[in-house]
Structure 1
Amino acid sequence: MSSQPGESGEFAADGLGCHKPIHSPRRLKVICIGAGASGLLLAYKLQRSFDYFDLTIYEKNEDISGTWFENTYPGCACDMPAHVYTYTFEPNPNWSSVYASSREIRNYFDCFATKYDLRKYISLRHQVVGAIWKEETGEWEVDVKNLEDGTIKHDSCSVLINATGITNAWKWPEIDGLYDFKGPLLHTALWDASVELEGKHVGIIGNGSSGLQVLPAISPLAKKVTNFIRGPAWVVQSRTFESRTYSEEERRRFAADPELFLAYRKQLEMNVNELFPVLIADSPAQRDMLDATKKQMQNTLQDKALEELVIPTFPLGCRRLTPGPGYLEALASGHVDVVFGEIAKITEHGCVSATGQEHHVDVLICATGFDVSYRPRFPLIGSSGGSLAEAWASEAQSYLGIAAHDFPNYFMFIGPNSPCGNGSLIVAVEAQADYMLRMINRWQTENIHSFMPKKKAVEDFIAFKDEFMKATVWTHNCKSWYKNGDHITGKVTALWPGSTLHYLEAIAEPRYEDWDFKIISNRFAFLGNGRSQVESDSAADWAYYVRNEDDGPYLSRLKRAKLVSRSGSAVRQ
């Protein structure tokens, strides 16, 4: 779908473009991969701020919402408070509980797409299977597979944006004999609701976020549950991660009183943001919260043997902080067995532990997560002729989590080193979208052929990131998808070197000096015919700069930060 200009707005063939006013927009064509939270936000922001554009979002699924369309397992929910996991400008007073279900979250994004008429940009059941940068045209040539009939469509765009996310490519565990199992074999990201769990002995592999959610949800149905875990995990129960249902009266007041509701949302967000000091190794905040969490886990489990298996010795936050409502209670119920350590193999009847003991189960659930290598799942060929998968084979190195050297006019949402370990991703996604559109605005209104981050800029950022990480809990000896390689001793590749608030400030304005811009002909062709955009609008105020007081923006970063954060207005609880 497209928003068509009355005139093409293109620069003249000689590159000087003297027939248009300054900053006249040229046709912009964007292809976005994925219609989850990031892709929908991009469509909204592009539609809100731009004219003269074409946007196509290719989505492989039968419907929108990405992760929240795909994950339907019992107990599936976001591990952040629901009122934090919304677009900052689009609150929802009707969440049923602090941790909304995947069904509710999917409905939120569905309503958002309907409200802003975003479906017109989306091609469902279409999967991008290849993309190659063409230097001569300054465009991406994109191959798209129609999953209904198997045909391949060839498309092209000025800017390519990857919004597939980091929890999109689920994977089976690499365990010998997995497919020898004769009972129903399920993955949390490929749930089969027709499989009967009632009265069955169910095995669950994993104790990450999905494992912590699915176990308490199915435990009341199953005859018995065996949870196979490779390592312990912190299960956080604090004010920030309180689990409860909202009453009808609370939801009514949220809807009726926007200011009250805003204050509540802000308090939740501040609670989350105040957790960052916990992630600094050996800090007072780390020690205090670790001690409190350990005591809470002990009080819930009330079993010394279980405590030794489940409670970690590594710092709190080395793996993602997880609330896990009901998980510890289920472990302590006597209805659940915990088998600790690697699974040696899987047989027709169940799992063989590292000790050689075979544990028979009727149904086996793999809560084993996703491919988080950050390498594109299709050939993405850049300006040097190499693929991004090859460039990132040993380590994913992004520019500020949004771009990569040698890949012009290409952005990614939640790329390597984004703030995905210390709060809701939604606010970071919004900041990334704004950054992308600032760059795209320059492309559209200046005679720019292409742009990409400089190699030295990426190298310097990675060097800074690596040094910063030494002070955090993330580098400690725990198995985490935050890390590269073996996920235990590898470099931290997933996380931003700082807090979420730090990230918002860091990318609020592009550092254009970090980018290589290739210009079409004369760099000043955008100056056009000597007329301004204001002069092309007869209904505009041609003296807009004359005023009674100085109401212009502040020009220092510090002053702007104090203004946008309303410094002095917040009261800590």
Structure 2
Amino acid sequence: MDSSPYDVVIVGAGFGGIGAAIQLKRLGYHNVVILEREADLGGTWHINRYPGLAVDIPSTTYSYWFEPNPYWSRLFAPGPELKRYADHVADKYDVRRYMRFNTTVASALWDEDAQLWQVALAGGETLATRFLITATGFLSQPHTPDIPGIETFDGKVIHTTAWDDSYDFRGRRVAVIGTGATAVQLVPELAKQVADLTVYQRTAIHVVPKIDFAIPVWLQHVFARVPLVHRAFRLVTDTVFELMIVTGVLHYRRFRRLNIAAADLAKINRFVSVRDKELRRKLTPDYDFGCKRPTWSNSYYRTFTKPHVHLETGSIERIETDGIVTADGRKTVIDTLVLATGFDLWEANFPAIEIVGREGRNLGKWWRENRFQAYQGVSIPYFPNYLSLASPYGFSGLSFFNTMEYQMRHMDRLFSEVKRRGATTFEVTEEANARFLDRMTELLDDSVFYRGDCATSRSYYFNPSGEAALLRPTSTRNAVREGSTFPLSDYAIA
């Protein structure tokens, strides 16, 4: 065990962990370590490298508000640019020096006597720390489908989170399982290379036209030299996407027509791209727009009209050594299997590691027995000196950076008060947590998740109990304001 405790241990070196480290450094905390299981920083933008990878929020909005990047090449920047942006921010704010890579955290236990967290690493080492912050992201635990025979398939198997850049897809007979946001980006790119492509769809997805364009170099220079112009451009993208989530999704009861209009956009996209009525029917979702994360593409639907691309909507019965057999007995022979099956959000991610707080309370067990909940999306009673940046009701808006903005402000207010009082511990009160949960539950009653038809959506917004406990059902402006003004009396600080 390391005998000298850290001030703060941060788990995860993605944009969440980087933002938390920057905020702590501003507050005067330098005895900090960031533990990252991967070989480099960047989180999802380090792990994901599949063809077609791009941000699905305008790049101006998908960035730290305090560190705008005037040099995005496109409105929706490709993945490698996001990785470079993460590197740039970590270096500019000098937080890379806190990072330990290839370090997997197994668990964290609150030591009541020492008033410290004991953080156990997979290699057997234990670190002690005053404060613990988990910044493991909402989408960090890849999901592999439990399909009979998948382990015995003789061909190449690639999960989109572990892409093999050396594999040559040319001339291959490929199957893709999954039709979520990743597949919407990946499928059109694979179709350009392979000899034959079969896409297995369990749930159709709404795909609206993507208004994307290259940002001219001269405009990038204007953004760099006149930051006000860049901020004005960001204000437009922020406002458009905030209106989408607040009106069409969170205030569905009052703005149902806007939600229907968004679904109509996807319908028009299908009609323009796909002339075959039966194919168009298969690609049409039977749930309301917004039940799943909105998706944009100008090529996804059109890809299925190519003669070598096939959409399979029958359920998969099993995988054999050389192909996939559907429930009706039909077999498709393949040599390559691509799993675009997303992430295990609720079972493996809430929490991503075992966390045990006061009186032996196990966070994962407590959440599953007492509803998923977290005060302001970051704090949980009985877990002193702990903030979880990927918590129930933690995700604000459609951009993760909206979430980081309010969470960094929350950290600033909370840790500043802890320092001012010369305190050693903080813990949210059960009363404050209960009030917040009641308010979130009430606000969600107006949303598409409860007022609309989401029964068949299979959306990761819903936890296993059927509660839409991922998104914070307020505007980003509200979340940011409360991050700066929440009552300090909501915490027991001693």
Where on the TM-score scale, by shorter chain, does this alignment land: which range?
over 0.9
Post-superposition Cα deviations, 1:31-51, rounded to whole Å, max 9, x if no partner, equal 10011101111122222x222
1:473 aligns to what?
Answer: 448
Output the TM-score relative to the length of structure 1: 0.80
Are 1:277 and 2:247 counterparts?
yes
Matches within 5 A, 1:13-92: 29-47=7-25, 49-51=26-28, 53-92=30-69
Deviates more, 1:188-197 or 1:496-505: 496-505
- Provide the C-alpha distance between the structure 2 equivalents of 1:257 and 1:53, rounded to a whole number of angstroms: 33
Q: CA 1:380 to 1:342, structure 2 compared with 1: closer, same or farther past 3 Å?
A: same
- Provide the C-alpha distance between the structure 2 equivalents of 1:277 and 1:52, rounded to a whole number of angstroms: 40
Q: Secondary structure at the match of 1:30?
A: strand
Question: Amino acid of the residue matched to residue 466 of structure 1?
Answer: T
Output the TM-score relative to the length of structure 2: 0.92
- Provide the C-alpha distance between the structure 2 equivalents of 1:356 and 1:404, rounded to a whole number of angstroms: 49
Alpha-carbon distance, 1:411 to partner: 0.2
1:553 aligns to what?
Answer: none
Q: Secondary structure at the match of 2:296?
A: coil
Structure ID, larger Rg = 1
Matches within 5 A, 1:184-195: 184-195=156-167
Matches within 5 A, 1:123-522: 123-145=100-122, 151-237=123-209, 241-275=210-244, 276-279=246-249, 280-281=251-252, 283-373=256-346, 374-394=349-369, 395-420=371-396, 422-475=397-450, 476-477=454-455, 478-485=457-464, 490-517=466-493, 519=494
Q: Secondary structure at the match of 2:310?
A: strand
Question: Amino acid of the residue matched to residue 463 of structure 1?
Answer: D
- Provide the C-alpha distance between the structure 1 equivalents of 2:22 and 2:491, rounded to a whole number of angstroms: 26
Question: Amino acid of the residue matched to residue 344 of structure 1?
Answer: E
- Provide the C-alpha distance between the structure 2 equivalents of 1:325 and 1:153, rounded to a whole number of angstroms: 49
- Provide the C-alpha distance between the structure 1 equivalents of 2:458 and 2:142, rounded to a whole number of angstroms: 18
Question: Amino acid of the residue matched to residue 511 of structure 1?
Answer: P
Alpha-carbon distance, 1:511 to partner: 2.2
| Equivalent pair of 2:202/2:315 in contact (CA under 8 Å) | yes
Q: CA RMSD in A?
A: 1.9
- Provide the C-alpha distance between the structure 2 equivalents of 1:133 and 1:323, rounded to a whole number of angstroms: 44
- Provide the C-alpha distance between the structure 2 equivalents of 1:203 and 1:105, rounded to a whole number of angstroms: 28
Q: Secondary structure at the match of 2:121?
A: strand
| Equivalent pair of 1:281/1:315 in contact (CA under 8 Å) | no
- Provide the C-alpha distance between the structure 2 equivalents of 1:182 and 1:397, rounded to a whole number of angstroms: 43
- Provide the C-alpha distance between the structure 2 equivalents of 1:293 and 1:506, rounded to a whole number of angstroms: 35
Q: Which has the higher helix share?
A: 2
Alpha-carbon distance, 1:123 to partner: 1.2
Alpha-carbon distance, 1:221 to partner: 0.3
- Provide the C-alpha distance between the structure 1 equivalents of 2:422 and 2:88, rounded to a whole number of angstroms: 38
Alpha-carbon distance, 1:247 to partner: 2.6
Q: CA 1:64 to 1:330, structure 2 compared with 1: closer, same or farther past 3 Å?
A: same
Question: Amino acid of the residue matched to residue 505 of structure 1?
Answer: R
Q: Secondary structure at the match of 2:208?
A: coil
Q: CA 1:78 to 1:204, structure 2 compared with 1: closer, same or farther past 3 Å?
A: same
Alpha-carbon distance, 1:205 to partner: 0.5
Give 4+ residue runs of structure 1 displaced > 4 Å after superposition: none
| Equivalent pair of 1:28/1:444 in contact (CA under 8 Å) | no
2:93 aligns to what?
Answer: 116
Alpha-carbon distance, 1:215 to partner: 0.6
- Provide the C-alpha distance between the structure 1 equivalents of 2:307 and 2:61, rounded to a whole number of angstroms: 35
Post-superposition Cα deviations, 1:452-508, rounded to whole Å, max 9, x if no partner, equal 22223323322332232232112321210010117xxx1111111222223223333
- Provide the C-alpha distance between the structure 2 equivalents of 1:446 and 1:506, rounded to a whole number of angstroms: 21
Q: Secondary structure at the match of 2:80?
A: helix
Post-superposition Cα deviations, 1:350-395, rounded to whole Å, max 9, x if no partner, equal 2222322222222100001112114223321100202112112354
Post-superposition Cα deviations, 1:152-184, rounded to whole Å, max 9, x if no partner, equal 222111110000111111121121211121110
Q: Secondary structure at the match of 1:231?
A: coil
- Provide the C-alpha distance between the structure 2 equivalents of 1:510 and 1:53, rounded to a whole number of angstroms: 26
Structure 1 unmatched ranges of 5 or more: 1-26, 146-150, 520-573
